[in-house]
Structure 1
């Protein structure tokens, strides 16, 4: 999958996540609005019931004159009870259903986000794995370069200059490398592709990447070091790959 395809896919997933979040928020807000409306209706019903009770008392005091009004107040009281029943049912069922829907959507949203993060992690793992494979392939290929092998055999300023130029050309084509160096069997750096780190003339015989390379049996094997801050390149994070040169290539 290309970078552009990955970006488009990530954008689609992000839109889905935002959509689910908006649905959850809006559903919760609807539930809150309904809840507030039910509370207001309940309060009105309570007040209506109180008025109905007061009306009953006054109707009873009025005797026969208040009998007709007593029938009306009882109807109002009955309506208040029915309204209370409806409100209670809505509180128990409708509001609960809205909360259940919100929870389902929220769970789905979390699941999608988890899948997205897992895909990100897998993509990064593949990128790192591919990068490490390519670095190992690079160093083994360059170890067969005739210019490098010749300089170690003849060991003169002219061949060292050729190596420096060769390493510099390679560096310009690969942005992932801080520097490329050539060391002799004693660990002495005899040429470097980058001048700013002043690595030429330094001895690296005690470095794990040097000893591991020297212990390999052929050009198919390579040495390396762990990721670390390197004083040699201004304490920047680096990982060193190395390969022993063989006269036969």
Structure 2
């Protein structure tokens, strides 16, 4: 049962309760009025009877008093019942809203977990492919023959892994030696030494390590958004061999991330007024459902030091968020999944 159906059910039940209570209270009030009328008539008759009706007058007065008490009790019961029903409605509404918020937090976690699981696989790919014999040979002695062989091997990898834009083999000083899609991207000889991902890769201590920079638009890849992961290429393909180059793999970010944010399991009625986002550690929007965003746009998330939580903003929108917990040996980059939802 959805939160909407629970709210509707509670609304119907409380409405029925109000109708039933109102009907019963009206019946009690009607009895009180009849008792008052009888008491009034009895007092009139007692007055006409004079001394003989004195005792009857006392009884009539008592009936009148009791009818007043019944009327007062009915009024208090009505007010108390109304307050109780209102409090019940408020309590159930609070429970429903808390359940909605908790569900949105779980969905936000699910979104960031899926992307981290995906990116963990990228860290495995880059470290594995950096040990390929053709890649190692080309990094060590970049002749035309070794470049062609390495390019062919990288192309074979790309034909099986469709989530990548390109794979670049780079020298230690930051020049692209070979790439997997030379027919699409003419990058051999390109100087990437000033790229953030290359700067992150230079200090890598072994073949077990990898580097990654923030998602960025890469001009040499026709302006596509890329999450670039880098591992060092080492002599003999050995983990502790001497560094002889770097392998950079460019994950095709936008379509993969969009699939994740669009695939969050929102009910059809929710989807129309919900937005699913992935934010980096600086609250930069990396992906958003329902709309395309530039990588420079930031979101005014008020998470503070909380790893997860929710709040309602000044527009009345529920904002639910969850920090990445990482996946396996991938600690994540401090990203968050965020759900923005207007209305129940």
**Is the contact between residue 164 and residue 191 of structure 1 (CA under 8 Å) also seen in structure 2?**
yes
Task: Give the match for residue 68 of structure 1.
Answer: none
Cα deviation, residue 154, structure 1 = 3.6
Q: Residues of 2 paired with 1:87 and 1:232: CA distance?
A: 81
Q: Residues of 2 paired with 1:203 and 1:124: CA distance?
A: 35
Q: Which of 217, 230, 237 is the equivalent residue of 2:218?
A: 230
1:157 aligns with 2:144: yes
Q: Residues of 1 paired with 2:19 and 2:197: CA distance?
A: 67
Task: Give the match for residue 179 of structure 1.
Answer: 166
| SS of residue matched to 2:178 | strand
Unaligned segments of structure 1, at least 5 residues: 1-14, 65-70
**Is the contact between residue 216 and residue 226 of structure 2 (CA under 8 Å) also seen in structure 1?**
yes
CA RMSD, Structure 1 to Structure 2 (Å): 3.9
Task: Give the match for residue 246 of structure 1.
Answer: 234
**Is the contact between residue 171 and residue 193 of structure 1 (CA under 8 Å) also seen in structure 2?**
yes
Task: Give the match for residue 147 of structure 1.
Answer: 134
Task: Give the match for residue 6 of structure 1.
Answer: none
CA change 1:29–1:168 in 2 (3 A) is farther
Task: Give the match for residue 115 of structure 2.
Answer: 128
**Is the contact between residue 29 and residue 74 of structure 2 (CA under 8 Å) also seen in structure 1?**
no
Greater relative contact order (Cα < 8 A, sep 6+): 2
1:214-225 paired onto structure 2 within 5 Å: 214-225=202-213
**Is the contact between residue 38 and residue 87 of structure 1 (CA under 8 Å) also seen in structure 2?**
no
| SS of residue matched to 1:203 | coil
1:209 aligns with 2:197: yes
CA change 1:81–1:121 in 2 (3 A) is same
**Is the contact between residue 25 and residue 78 of structure 2 (CA under 8 Å) also seen in structure 1?**
no
**Is the contact between residue 147 and residue 162 of structure 1 (CA under 8 Å) also seen in structure 2?**
yes
Deviations 1:66-92 (A, max 9, x none): xxxxx9xx9xx8998577446413422
Deviations 1:102-153 (A, max 9, x none): 1222222122222212222332343333333222221111110001111233
Q: Which of 179, 196, 199 is the equivalent residue of 2:184?
A: 196
Q: Which of 6, 9, 12 is the equivalent residue of 1:26?
A: 12
| SS of residue matched to 1:226 | coil
CA change 1:175–1:89 in 2 (3 A) is farther
Cα deviation, residue 221, structure 1 = 1.8
Q: Residues of 2 paired with 1:90 and 1:24: CA distance?
A: 22
| SS of residue matched to 1:239 | strand
| SS of residue matched to 2:236 | coil
TM-score using structure 2 length: 0.52
CA change 1:172–1:42 in 2 (3 A) is farther
The answer to which structure has the higher strand fraction is 2
CA change 1:22–1:199 in 2 (3 A) is farther
**Is the contact between residue 22 and residue 78 of structure 2 (CA under 8 Å) also seen in structure 1?**
no
